[in-house]
């Protein structure tokens, strides 16, 4: 049986990987959704809701009259069309390779197989996660609010660890306005946007707090037009990663409160929080360890990671969330992207057993019993 499961998983992963789906190409994402729909319908027995938002194609299977567990994944990738010709799908020496295999087409195949034949599950597959989920965020949050638990099939952390904590992300664009002047004839008449930008970039970087896991990083910057002109405008981007909502709020207030140092300069701040943090919660991790022990499997390990996923959104609305349930491997977004074949069947079986356990013993019931509420 496990041999048949592995053969089916590999066939489905190959079909998914060989359908290229760069997030920015709407036609490619729509074609990929059709492939996911075909594979999912074959295993789940029903067709999904096909949801197109801002031109981006998402799929939702509702299995049963009252789904309580949300399985979450995405079928878009960072790889441009033509990547498959350079990095073709392959299976060799126990390793599967191909663009998007680790992030996260193998996890998507695992979710479909784990959900087959179950009643009480929603499988949501989005098509814009790699862009920050601009069109699917409200859909994800809607489904999460209706669920007792969210299980995210993003790839595992190193060594197969589950992701019990993800940092929240905020993205900003700080725009500086100065005043142009001739740099050689009368620079004193100008207001130098480059200098103001430098002052502000240093102030922003100082907002980081490594002891709290908060990084505030000025990234892409630009200023000026010609070498002999005092720059009249400039801008820089800021990437913020935080472990807690309190830190996300603190940094947001500080960045929005930036004030110019040079007389005559002006500052405008765009952007803001993109994903809330997935703050550590033990309830689902404890459950999967119990389930693994019952199956005679090694106890799963946990990891906190800096990268964000759609699991940040499900946790952000208060739904218990466990992430990193997908494939074991490495090289996400890199030339050496790969999946280890040997763990695929066991992790799929563990995922299914966890879903069945959650359907049999609801989290909300256990929580209310422990707290004495109804």
Residues catalogued as catalytic: 76, 129
Distances (CA, A) of 116 to 44, 46, 63, 150, 266: 5, 10, 9, 17, 57
Which residues are paired to 170 by β-bridges?
Answer: 240, 273
The secondary structure of residue 210, as a DSSP letter, is G
Identify any residues that bridge with 160 across adjacent strands, giving them in sequence order. none
27 contact partners, CB below 8 Å, separation of at least 6: none
Q: In what order do the strands lie in the sheet with 233-242?
A: 215-223, 233-242, 168-177, 266-275
Structure-token match 């109804």, residue found: 374
Q: What is the DSSP string of 69-80?
A: EEEEEE--BSPP
Contact 152, 311 (CB under 8 A): yes
CA gap 17, 32 in Å, rounded: 9
Find out whether 246 and 262 touch, Cβ atoms under 8 Å: no
**Alpha carbon distance 308, 157 (integer Å):** 12
Cα-atom radius of gyration of the chain, to the nearest Å? 23
d(CA 28, CA 76): 9
Distances (CA, A) of 170 to 237, 243, 253, 257, 307: 11, 12, 12, 15, 12
Largest CA distance in the chain: 82
* 3-class SS shares of the chain: helix, strand, coil, % to 5: 40, 25, 35
Residues with Cβ within 8 Å of residue 59, at least 6 apart in sequence: 33, 36, 37, 40, 48, 49, 50, 51, 75, 123, 124, 125
Question: Nearest CA to 165 among 328, 281, 299, 287?
Answer: 281
């Amino acid at each position: 049986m496990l041999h048949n499961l592995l053969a089916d998983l590999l066939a489905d992963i190959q079909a998914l990987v060989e359908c290229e789906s760069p997030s920015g190409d709407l036609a490619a994402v729509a074609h990929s959704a059709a492939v996911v729909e075909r594979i999912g319908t074959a295993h789940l027995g029903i067709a999904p809701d096909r949801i197109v938002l801002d031109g981006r194609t998402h799929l939702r299977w509702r299995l049963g009259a009252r789904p309580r567990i949300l399985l979450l994944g995405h079928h878009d990738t960072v790889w441009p069309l033509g990547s498959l010709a350079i990095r073709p799908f392959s299976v060799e020496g126990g390793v599967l390779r191909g663009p998007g295999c680790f992030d996260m087409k193998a996890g998507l195949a695992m979710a479909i197989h784990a959900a087959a034949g179950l009643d009480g599950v929603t499988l949501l597959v989005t098509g814009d996660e790699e862009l920050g989920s601009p069109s699917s965020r409200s859909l994800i949050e809607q489904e999460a609010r209706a669920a007792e638990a969210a299980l995210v099939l993003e790839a595992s952390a190193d060594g197969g660890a589950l992701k019990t904590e993800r940092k929240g992300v905020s993205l900003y664009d700080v725009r500086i306005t100065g005043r142009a002047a001739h740099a050689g004839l009368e620079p004193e008449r100008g207001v130098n946007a480059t200098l103001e930008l430098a002052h502000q970039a240093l102030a922003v970087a100082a907002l980081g707090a490594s002891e709290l896991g908060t990084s505030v990083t000025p990234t892409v910057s630009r200023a000026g037009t010609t070498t002999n002109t005092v720059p009249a405008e400039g801008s820089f981007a800021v990437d913020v990663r935080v472990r807690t909502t309190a830190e996300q709020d603190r940094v947001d207030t500080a960045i929005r409160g930036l004030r110019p140092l040079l007389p005559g300069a002006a500052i405008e701040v765009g952007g803001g929080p993109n994903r809330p943090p997935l703050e550590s919660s033990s309830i689902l991790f404890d459950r999967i360890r119990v389930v693994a022990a019952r199956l005679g499997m090694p106890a799963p390990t946990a990891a906190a990671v800096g990268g964000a996923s759609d699991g940040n959104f499900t946790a952000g609305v208060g739904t218990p969330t466990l992430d990193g349930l997908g494939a074991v491997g490495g090289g996400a977004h890199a030339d050496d992207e790969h999946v280890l074949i040997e763990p695929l069947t066991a992790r799929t079986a563990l995922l299914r057993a966890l879903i069945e356990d959650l359907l049999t013993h609801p989290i909300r019931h256990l929580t209310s019993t422990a707290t004495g509420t109804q």
